[in-house]
C-alpha cells in the first residue's frame, strides 16, 4: 500500500485589571482561551527545526527554544487579551530573538496594568477595530472592481505601525483606490513597492501530487471528514471534481471543494490506498509531527517546506492580508518573510508544532530572499468541516 507523505508543509476577564494575572514573570501570557483550537502537549524542538531556525533567523539554540515557548503562550493568550481590553485593543505581537510580547491600546490608562503583567505596552492612535474597518472597506472595493487596479498588489493591517498598509508600484493609483473605498485616510498609508505576488502553481511543492495528470502542487496537512481521509492544499491548484494522483503517479483522490480567488484553499479526499499521517516533511526528509492549529501571533517564527526550495523559515509579518493576483483578490492571507518559489504551492506552514496554513503565492526567491503568503488552515477546516490529523 503506498503511503502518502506530507512532504509539503504539513482569560478571559471582563475588566482591565485582570490582565495582570495573565502573564508570567517573563512577560508571556500563560492562560489559553479554552475556546481556541485543540493542541497537544508541548514537546522538545525537533533537531531539524532547531537547525533551520538557527540558520534562517540567526538565533542560538537556547533562543530558539525560548522563542517557541513564548510564541505559543502569547498565541494562547491573545483571544483573552482582545476580550479584556475591549474597544481600546490595538493588537498584540511578539518581537526580538526570544519573542517578547507587546500589547497595544488606545487608552494610556491601561499601560500600567499591561506592564505590571510583564508585557510591553504601546499606546496607539487607532484600535484594531478601526484598522480592520479600513481594510474591510478596501476589500469591498476590490471585490466590486476585479481587479481593483493593476497597480495595487497587497494590503494588510500592520499592527506595529498601527496602520493599514497598501503596497503599490504606482502610489498615485493606489491613493485613488484608497479614496474610492471610503476608508479612513488617517488609518491607511500607501507604501511604494515593486512586489507582485503570483500563485506558485503548476509545479511541485512539498510532496508532489498531480491534478488531472498535469498540474503539480503540494500536500498541505492531513485531515479527515467523518470516515474519509485526505489533505488540504491551495485552491488555485485545481477545481472541485478534479482527479489527483500521488507523487508516484498512483491514483489518489478527488478534489472535494476548491475556492480561488476570494480565498485560496481546497481539500482532497483520498482513496484507501493513502494513509493520512500527522507529519510535515522537514529537512533531509525527516518528519515533524503536527500537534494542533493554534494561530501564532505577528512576529512569530514560521517554517515552510517545498520540493522546489526545501525547508525555509521566516517571520510572520501580518495576518489578514489581501493579495491581488492576476486572477483576482484573495483576502485573509498571512504574509511572511519565508522565501518560496513556483512549485511550493499548497505546502505547509508550521510554527513550532502548530499548523498555520498552506502556501498560496509570493515574490522574490530563495536565492536573494522574498516574501510569501499562506492561507490560514483553521478557516479551511471550518469551511469544509474537517479535522486536522495530529500526533
For 90-104, letters b (16+ CB in 10 Å) and e give bbbbbeeebbbbbbb
264 catalytically annotated:
yes
Beta strands 208-211 and 163-168, pairing class: unpaired
Cβ of 146: how many Cβ atoms within 10 Å?
Answer: 12
Q: Are 373 and 320 in contact (CB under 8 A)?
A: no
Active-site entry in 33, 139, 158, 264: 264
From the candidates 88, 126, 153, 236, give the one annotated as an active-site residue. Answer: 236
* 141 alpha carbon, distance to own chain's centre: 24
Contact criterion met (CB below 8 Å) for 12 and 22: no
Q: How many CB atoms lie within 10 A of CB 390?
A: 18
Cα separation of 264 and 381, whole Å?
A: 13
> Which residue out of 168, 331, 345, 372 is catalytically annotated?
345
Residue 379: CB atoms within 10 A of its CB come to 13
What is the C-alpha to C-alpha distance for residues 281 and 7, in angstroms, rounded to an integer? 4
Q: Rounded distance, CA 294 to CA 32, Å? A: 10
Of the candidates 192, 107, 179, the one whose C-alpha atom is nearest the C-alpha of residue 153 is 192
Phi, psi of 224 (to 5 degrees): -140, 145
200: its cell numbers: 506558485
Output phi, psi for 44, to 5 deg: -65, 150
Residue-wise over 22-56: b if at least 16 C-beta within 10 A, else e?
Answer: bbeebbbbebbbeebbebeeeeebbebbbbbbeeb
> What is the rounded end-to-end Cα distance, in angstroms, of the chain?
21
Cis peptide before 147 (omega within 30 of 0): yes
Instruction: Please say whether the beta carbons of 316 and 294 come within 8 A.
Output: no
Reply yes or no on whether 345 is catalytic. Answer: yes
Phi-psi region of 180 (alpha: psi -120 to 50; beta: other; left: phi over 0): alpha
Active-site residue list:
236, 264, 345
Amino acid at each position: 500500500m503506498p503511503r502518502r507523505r506530507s512532504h509539503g508543509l504539513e482569560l478571559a476577564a471582563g475588566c482591565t485589571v485582570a490582565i495582570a494575572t495573565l502573564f508570567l514573570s517573563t512577560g508571556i501570557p500563560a492562560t489559553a482561551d479554552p475556546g481556541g483550537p485543540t493542541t497537544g502537549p508541548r514537546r522538545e524542538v525537533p533537531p531539524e527545526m532547531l537547525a533551520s531556525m538557527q540558520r534562517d533567523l540567526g538565533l542560538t539554540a537556547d533562543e530558539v527554544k525560548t522563542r517557541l515557548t513564548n510564541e505559543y503562550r502569547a498565541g494562547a493568550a491573545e483571544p483573552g487579551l482582545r476580550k479584556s481590553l475591549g474597544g481600546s485593543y490595538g493588537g498584540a505581537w511578539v518581537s526580538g530573538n526570544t519573542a517578547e510580547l507587546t500589547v497595544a491600546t488606545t487608552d494610556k490608562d491601561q499601560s500600567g496594568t499591561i506592564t505590571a503583567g510583564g508585557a510591553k505596552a504601546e499606546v496607539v492612535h487607532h484600535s484594531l477595530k478601526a484598522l480592520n474597518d479600513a481594510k474591510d472597506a478596501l476589500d469591498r472595493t476590490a471585490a466590486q472592481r476585479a481587479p481593483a487596479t493593476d497597480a495595487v498588489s497587497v494590503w494588510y493591517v500592520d499592527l506595529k505601525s498601527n496602520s493599514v498598509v497598501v503596497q503599490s508600484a504606482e502610489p498615485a493609483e493606489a491613493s485613488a483606490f484608497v479614496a474610492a473605498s471610503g476608508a479612513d485616510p488617517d488609518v491607511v498609508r500607501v507604501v511604494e513597492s515593486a512586489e507582485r505576488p503570483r500563485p506558485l502553481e503548476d509545479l511541485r511543492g512539498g510532496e508532489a501530487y498531480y491534478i488531472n495528470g498535469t498540474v503539480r502542487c503540494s500536500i498541505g496537512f492531513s485531515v479527515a471528514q467523518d470516515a474519509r481521509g485526505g489533505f488540504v492544499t491551495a485552491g488555485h491548484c485545481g477545481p472541485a471534481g478534479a482527479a489527483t494522483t500521488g507523487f508516484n503517479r498512483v491514483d489518489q483522490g478527488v478534489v472535494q471543494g476548491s475556492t480561488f480567488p476570494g480565498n485560496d484553499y481546497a481539500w482532497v479526499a483520498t482513496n484507501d490506498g493513502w494513509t493520512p499521517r500527522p507529519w510535515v516533511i522537514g529537512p533531509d526528509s525527516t518528519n515533524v509531527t503536527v500537534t494542533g492549529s493554534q494561530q501564532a501571533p505577528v512576529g512569530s517564527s514560521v517554517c515552510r517546506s517545498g520540493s522546489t526550495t526545501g525547508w525555509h523559515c521566516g517571520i510572520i509579518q501580518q495576518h489578514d492580508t489581501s493579495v491581488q493576483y492576476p486572477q483576482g483578490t484573495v483576502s485573509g492571507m498571512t504574509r511572511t518573510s519565508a522565501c518560496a518559489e513556483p512549485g511550493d504551492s499548497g505546502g505547509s506552514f508550521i510554527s513550532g508544532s502548530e499548523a498555520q496554513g498552506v502556501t498560496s503565492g509570493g515574490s522574490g526567491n530563495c536565492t536573494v530572499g522574498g516574501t510569501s503568503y499562506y492561507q490560514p488552515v483553521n478557516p479551511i477546516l471550518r469551511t469544509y468541516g474537517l479535522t486536522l490529523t495530529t500526533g
